[in-house]
Structure 1
Amino acid sequence: MRRVAALALVPLVAATACSGGGLPDGLKVAGVVGRQPTVTIPASAPSGKLKVETLRKGKGSAVTDGDLVVADYVGYRWNGGDHRLVASSYEAGRPAVFPYGRLVTGLNKALAGQRPGGRVLAVIPPGQGYGPSGYAPWQIGAGDSMVFVLDVLATYHNGASAQGRPQPQNDAALPQVTAGATPTMKIPSAAPPGRLQVKTIIQGGGPPVQAHQLVVFHDLGQIWRTGKVFESTRARGRPDSALAGAGQMIRGWDRAVVGQRVGSRVLVVIPPKDGYGSKGHAASGIRKNDTLAFVIDVLAAY
């Protein structure tokens, strides 16, 4: 299934200055949480050891296994010869998503136990970063360490779900969705509708999702013909994210999510022309001209 990367909407805590006194390896970090920090890296080489320093403690739920972490960050390449900024969510104009537990070892250790509103500095040696292969998109070589400063905006647990007002389900021709944090869906034996169907199951109270916003979501996808589940973020163990309305997801999914309010649960029936069409998706068991049904919980949007 075509997939994406996305983000969450969480208010930032009051900005606080961070100074660089006594930080590892002679580093200095200045600036306020929520804005791009100024990072001063010495001309000397890094120590070659993992160093993690919490510059500001956050509040709320600590990052734990199975979380999707939303954070703004800057990332630097550092070796004995030079250092250079290689990535910045601030310059990109949107925060980034970090699936905790599936990151390079050093980043996993840096984010462990962090809380929203916090800022953390990590100096990551090659052995706990990208290793001997490096990372070409960021021009990181085999011997390069990385320096990250991350401002944690939000964490989303696997148990996150839609929050809002339940809406009546009174169309027997459409799948029925159970209530609760982990919804299921029963597809009727009737023929599927020929057009895209979008029905709100829970009406959220947040702002509407706009095109090209990053969306954090849970979803459940089933094949109308068989009822087979081919997509489940909850079964994978964490929420997912996507850039809505940008062609990163199948067209019916995109069309359904744009305009939905954050906090909503939405039933979507996607005809083949808005799904995988005449090609299908063999790896998921989707044949050509299969109709798909989704339940989507819109958890957040940036």
Structure 2
Amino acid sequence: MPRLSAFAALALVPAVAVALAGCSGSPSTSATSTSTPNPSSTAAAETQSSCAAPSAGTASKSVKVTGKLDAAPTVKFDKGLSVTSTQRSTVIEGSGEKALTGTLLDVAFTIYDAETGKKISTAGYSGSAATQFTVSKDLYLAGLVDGMHCAQVGSRTVTVADSADMFGTTGNESLGVAAGDDMVIVMDILSKVPTKATGTTVAPKSGFPAVKLAADGKPTVTIPKTTAPKSLKLEVLKKGDGATVKSGATVTVQYQGTLWRTGEVFDQSWGSGPTSFSTDKVVAGFKKAIVGQTIGSQVVVIVPPSEGYGSAGNTTAGIKGTDTLVFVVDILAQG
């Protein structure tokens, strides 16, 4: 799973859509709807000049943060800090472009319980892999996104997030956060990550589905009018020049899954934003498609039932036990 146990607690949806999920290739029992919210539609209306973030206030200004960007900060504040609405101050002013809704970022962050002063989560600083987050309140807790939204790349922000924008009236027992506790979030906006494959185009193989890409990289897949192959088949449509994906690594991808039988999309990240997951937490055929590939690549994999959901299929996703699956995967980053 991701680099820290608290990562999943910050998301409003699973780290990877459950239509892909499965340990050692075992099928999942449910699927994510393809009609997910679309942060890119908001970003289309949002511009560098119109982007608006929470204002600084007495609480956010009272948090003292020292240290260099991309190094674990020293953070001091009085216990019992609270706000009636989320506040954000900027500790280090970046000079890069603003993080609009739908932007995929490399970040480092530290989160504290504002009531108790307890550090509950930290990740991504120099010496370890950066963490990837999509700027989207459809995907992550609002207070976390407020720490990134509209900040310029190269910035360090400090957010005092109202409990309603974090764990609300239920808290989070696993993190030791009580109901109603506000959070202090120190966020380093390190870089912008591409949201589509950027590798060199490779000629497609014969017998594979045709893939047409929209300007934003979203694929449209046309299944050939032939019988599906009985074994796993893989092609690389774009060859990236990044690091090689390792087994067990956390990767960030865009993906789309299509049924060979109907040509219909049964699940995708397009429309909700890039997603991160461990290569050990997906069906066998999906893992084989990305392990050993390089960051920046786009691959197409044809997955037979034996390396997908087996004879049980996945009824929620409309996948029968005899269904062959086609995934188009853009490999964006690795943790």
TM norm. shorter chain > 0.5 = yes
Kindly provide the amino acid, as one letter, of the partner of residue 120 in structure 1: T
Instruction: Report the structure, 1 or 2, having the larger strand content.
Output: 1
CA apart distance, 1:147:
0.8
CA apart distance, 1:60:
3.3
The 5-angstrom pairing of residues 233-248 of structure 1 reads 233-234=269-270, 236-244=271-279, 246=280, 248=281
The 5-angstrom pairing of residues 123-134 of structure 1 reads 123-134=160-171
Q: Is 1:270 matched up with 2:303?
A: yes
Identity of aligned residues (%): 28
- Matched with 2:318 is 285
C-alpha distance in structure 2 between counterparts of 1:258 and 1:105, whole Å: 32
> RCO (CA 8 Å, sep 6+): is it higher in 1 or 2?
2
CA apart distance, 1:89:
1.5
- Matched with 1:249 is 282
Query: Contact (CA 8 Å) 1:199, 1:266: kept in 2 or not?
Result: yes
- Matched with 2:227 is 191
- Matched residue of 1:278: which SS? helix
- Matched residue of 1:293: which SS? strand
| Aligned-pair Cα RMSD in Å | 2.5
- Matched with 1:85 is 119
Residues 114-137 of structure 1: CA deviation (Å, up to 9, x unaligned): 133221111123233222111222
Q: Residues 185, 207 of structure 1: CA spacing in aligned structure 2 closer, same or farther, 3 A cutoff?
A: same
- Matched with 1:163 is 198
Which of these residues, 115, 125, 137, is aligned with residue 101 of structure 1? 137
Kindly provide the amino acid, as one letter, of the partner of residue 245 in structure 2: V
CA apart distance, 1:162:
1.6
TM-score (normalised: structure 1): 0.82
Query: Contact (CA 8 Å) 1:270, 1:293: kept in 2 or not?
Result: yes
The 5-angstrom pairing of residues 9-24 of structure 1 reads 24=60
CA apart distance, 1:93:
5.0
Query: Contact (CA 8 Å) 2:156, 2:188: kept in 1 or not?
Result: yes
C-alpha distance in structure 1 between counterparts of 2:124 and 2:196, whole Å: 28
Query: Contact (CA 8 Å) 2:60, 2:158: kept in 1 or not?
Result: no
Which of these residues, 177, 184, 187, is aligned with residue 147 of structure 1? 184
- Matched with 1:71 is 107
CA apart distance, 1:268:
0.4
* Number of equivalences: 276
Query: Contact (CA 8 Å) 1:31, 1:37: kept in 2 or not?
Result: yes
Query: Contact (CA 8 Å) 1:121, 1:150: kept in 2 or not?
Result: yes
CA apart distance, 1:151:
1.3
Query: Contact (CA 8 Å) 2:82, 2:182: kept in 1 or not?
Result: no
